[in-house]
Structure 1
Amino acid sequence: MIVPNPNTARRRLVASVLLLIAILPGATAQENEALVRKIADQVIRETKLGFEGADNKQFYASAAAIPEGVAVKYASSYTGWHYTHGVLNMSMVNLGNYLNEPKYTNYAADHVAFGFANYETFKKRFPGGRSHVGYPYGEMFTMEELDDFGAMSASILALPEGKRKDEYLAYVKKAAMHLTEERLRLKDGTFVRKFPHVNTLWADDLYMSVPFLARMGKLTGEKKYFDDAIKQVVNFDKYLWDPQNQLYWHAWYSDVQRNGVAHWGRCNGWIMIAQVHLLDLLPANHPARPKLLRQLEKQVLGIAHFQSPEGLWHQVLDRPDSYLESSASAMFVYGIAHAVNQGWIGKSYASIAKTGWDGLKKYKINELGQLKDICVGTGIQDNMVFYYTRPVGLNEKHGTGPLIDAGVEILKFEKAASK
């Protein structure tokens, strides 16, 4: 007769329990919540609000402490006043609200407060404006491009009311006036830029404008802001949608009446999440909502065609020989998952987002919670090699905000599944 070894039996029991825990929804939810926290906490660790001397490398905690004539740069890439900072601020507020964790909301509030506490010094010292090289916060007061103020203004309005100071709202009102009354547009009202061709429509600018317009509509109750936001979404689709590939082009040139050369991943991501922001804030009974929902679902279906076996998307979406790019992948996970969570599209689309999140975890997020292979800032060229060869960064500021938003939506999936 063989007597079972009690230690072996105990080990088998423990293994069985661990296996059971691993397959329960709650275990996955706990794992993903820990990961999302790690991602956000790593960004907080990498953020250093202050300035560094360009030559002497000395740290200055405030603009007022910088001696006259000393050129400085931001002490960290997360310090500045750029649309990517607006994206990150809104994602931190989103995470803070979902987890009821003030430190994430405070991150955004502190970032905005630092900008307002310091920009006047640079404005007085460097009246040359945004084009002057070597000084911070030029974007804040020149507003030369939509990049300079749209997403940052939206992030100010995303802050809790108690953290919005009077000077913030004065800035936002100035930015809204500039956006609605002074920005360059086509005759039909679509936002364009002066370059690289005369009156070029950039796909990126849908995000630089629409979330801010939607928040102004909610703040003021004025119909004109929602009308303008809807106009942009519809018109960008008119000019940029490629019905053959079911993707958006990066650009449309009004002077030659044609599109650019690339279905760039991140610009398609900007278009998707701009629509998500608008639908979140648009009144539920607005007559344009059904059309906007159809347009969003059309894009989701188009994007689904180009998801890689790893669950991710390529730098140029329809070019599988281009690299797998992280910021666009995070944007698609966020946009699709959020649309499912809100009931805007069917639950069958959830698998696209879930496999995308799994791909990000497996291939793109390192042990510190940093996101790899984020394409750096990208202009427009009629040269496909330009898109193929754009450098990538680690935890580069174009990707961390969308990654946090994607994680929040995955947590919502799991919370719903556990009920």
Structure 2
Amino acid sequence: MKINLLAVKISFTVMFLLSSLNVLAQELVNDVTSPLHAMQPDYPIPYGAQSIQEVTATLDRVYNFLESKTASKLIDSKTNKEVVNLKNLDKNTVFEPGVFRLTSYEWGVTYGGMLLATEATGNSKYANYTNKRLKLIADIAPFYNKMLKKDKNYPSPIIQSLHPEALDDAGAVCAAMIKAQRAGLNADLKPLIDNFIAYISNKQFRLPDGTLARNRPQPNTLWLDDLFMSVPALAQMGKLTGDIKYFDDAVKQVRQFSERMFNNQNGLYMHGWVQSMEEHPQFHWARANGWAVMTLVELLEVLPKDHSGYKDVLNQLRAHIKGLVHYQDGTGFWHQLIDRNDTYLETSATAIYAYSITRAINRGYIDKAAYSPVAMLAWNAVSTKVNEKGHVEGTCVGTGMGFDPAFYYYRPIHVYAAHGYGPVMLAGAEIIMLLKNNDFEINDSSLQLKANK
């Protein structure tokens, strides 16, 4: 092979000249000639406060995707025709094809997120998404209850709601139904709500001291996730009925979970606690910590301020947020295992933290000047994960409990992991309310909350 020596000489000459120009540029720009502190950083995500229009555009991408891809009507599975007359329900009746389950706990979060988006924007389309689907569930419940009494194996598209077998089946959807009813939804949700609360209060396994627990993966196991799968529903029921027993149980769960599972040194919760273990391995899984901090803000929203547990819950929220903020990555995200920065950056947990921290700011639970930039950074990070199709990227799939790091490190992510969608709607809605009531500015290159509004 012949080598073109002239070409090689020219190449080296060009490289030398470019290097020389770069050195010259460095010498011409220095701390005397230019304000170097004003140089623009190479941020991996947008920096600064988004506009309300930008936040709304992100929510709309998610809404448009979900409205088109989640069921809102029934069909006959044999004919693929819509079942309009509810008198024609039978064994072949199913929800129209969709990519998410309407009765899952993840969709309970999504229903709540859509309701909050209407509250934040004034646009009824978001709440209509929730109301249309919850009304459909309520309308068909009497038929399937009747048939299941005759035949416990009768096919039903809402079997989880009629016969819950875990807190996952009950709590989040129940809380969303109560919120929708309080917001004025004209549907007979009461039988479903009462059924959910009866399961949470009387049927779910508990430890002798009343702490909600499971017998998997080990006997007498606490799952941090179960705070969210129970407490918001109990709190909403307390608000709906005025019966203090629901508030008492909600506060008891927060206290007793926290006594066992909250690390006061780092401000984080462990994911699981097994009664029989002499040592309690601490894996600080991000989404479980998200469910916990979300539980605290949801409880404070309706817990009477004169309740004996109000200050305890408020202090717990402040301690947890302080711990979480310490571990926020420079990108705005949090890691899959919060305190292990070699685990991947996870979207659903970041969205939950963005929502919870912003709601705590908006409700006056925490210092808004101190925490608003953190919340905005988190939202900016989350918004980069909502693609043009409205998919939420970077969300960890459903996750059990493990006691080794590999289990958490290598959990898959997927755009159809349902856990990401509701938190994005919640976070965006709460950020909009923060933007409506506060001004931000870039002061000496850093995002600051203006103090004069």
TM-score range, shorter chain: 0.7 to 0.9
1:265-344 equivalences in 2 (<5 Å) = 265-344=286-365
Alignment CA distance shift 1:335-1:79 (3 Å): same
Measure the CA separation in 2 of the matches of 1:79 and 1:122.
18
Deviation per residue, 1:237-283 (Å, 9 max, x gap): 11111234331111111122543452111000000001111000011
Task: Please name the residue that 1:203 is paired with.
Answer: 224
Task: Please name the residue that 2:8 is paired with.
Answer: none
CA contact (8 A) 1:312 1:356 kept: yes
Alignment CA distance shift 1:391-1:247 (3 Å): same
1:21-100 equivalences in 2 (<5 Å) = 28-50=51-73, 58=80, 61=83, 75-100=97-122
2:161 to 135, 140, 144: 140
Letter in 1 for 2:63: A
CA contact (8 A) 2:120 2:432 kept: no
How far is the alpha carbon of 1:344 from its aligned partner?
0.6
SS of the equivalent of 1:156 reads: helix
1:141-290 equivalences in 2 (<5 Å) = 141-161=162-182, 162-166=184-188, 168-256=189-277, 258-290=279-311
Task: Please name the residue that 2:130 is paired with.
Answer: 108
Task: Please name the residue that 2:372 is paired with.
Answer: 350
Measure the CA separation in 1 of the matches of 2:302 and 2:123.
23
Letter in 2 for 1:200: T
How far is the alpha carbon of 1:414 from its aligned partner?
1.2
How far is the alpha carbon of 1:365 from its aligned partner?
1.9
Measure the CA separation in 1 of the matches of 2:362 and 2:201.
32
Q: Which ranges of structure 2 fall in alignment gaps of 5 or more residues?
A: 1-46, 440-452
How far is the alpha carbon of 1:371 from its aligned partner?
1.3
Letter in 2 for 1:105: A
Aligned CA RMSD, in angstroms, stands at 2.8
Measure the CA separation in 2 of the matches of 1:261 and 1:291.
23
Task: Determine which structure has greater relative contact order: mean sequence separation of CA pairs < 8 Å that are 6+ residues apart, divided by chain length.
Answer: 2
CA contact (8 A) 1:79 1:111 kept: no
Task: Please name the residue that 1:375 is paired with.
Answer: 396
Deviation per residue, 1:296-315 (Å, 9 max, x gap): 11111111121111110111
SS of the equivalent of 1:155 reads: helix
How far is the alpha carbon of 1:50 from its aligned partner?
4.9
Measure the CA separation in 2 of the matches of 1:349 and 1:160.
32
Measure the CA separation in 1 of the matches of 2:76 and 2:409.
34
Q: How many residues align?
A: 389
CA contact (8 A) 2:71 2:102 kept: no
Deviation per residue, 1:89-119 (Å, 9 max, x gap): 1111111122222221111111112223445
Alignment CA distance shift 1:250-1:178 (3 Å): same
CA contact (8 A) 2:108 2:173 kept: yes
CA contact (8 A) 1:191 1:232 kept: yes
CA contact (8 A) 2:58 2:386 kept: no
TM-score, normalised by the number of residues in structure 2 = 0.78
Alignment CA distance shift 1:73-1:392 (3 Å): farther
Q: Which ranges of structure 1 fall in alignment gaps of 5 or more residues?
A: 1-22
Task: Please name the residue that 1:14 is paired with.
Answer: none
How far is the alpha carbon of 1:49 from its aligned partner?
3.0
In the alignment, does 2:409 pair up with 1:388?
yes
CA contact (8 A) 1:60 1:66 kept: no
Q: Percent identity?
A: 33
Alignment CA distance shift 1:388-1:64 (3 Å): farther
Deviation per residue, 1:28-48 (Å, 9 max, x gap): 222222222332232212223
Task: Please name the residue that 1:19 is paired with.
Answer: none
Measure the CA separation in 2 of the matches of 1:64 and 1:316.
50
CA contact (8 A) 1:87 1:402 kept: yes
How far is the alpha carbon of 1:165 from its aligned partner?
2.9
Letter in 1 for 2:56: E
CA contact (8 A) 2:76 2:83 kept: no
In the alignment, does 2:431 pair up with 1:410?
yes
CA contact (8 A) 1:375 1:391 kept: yes
Deviation per residue, 1:280-329 (Å, 9 max, x gap): 00113333222211111111111112111111011111121211111000
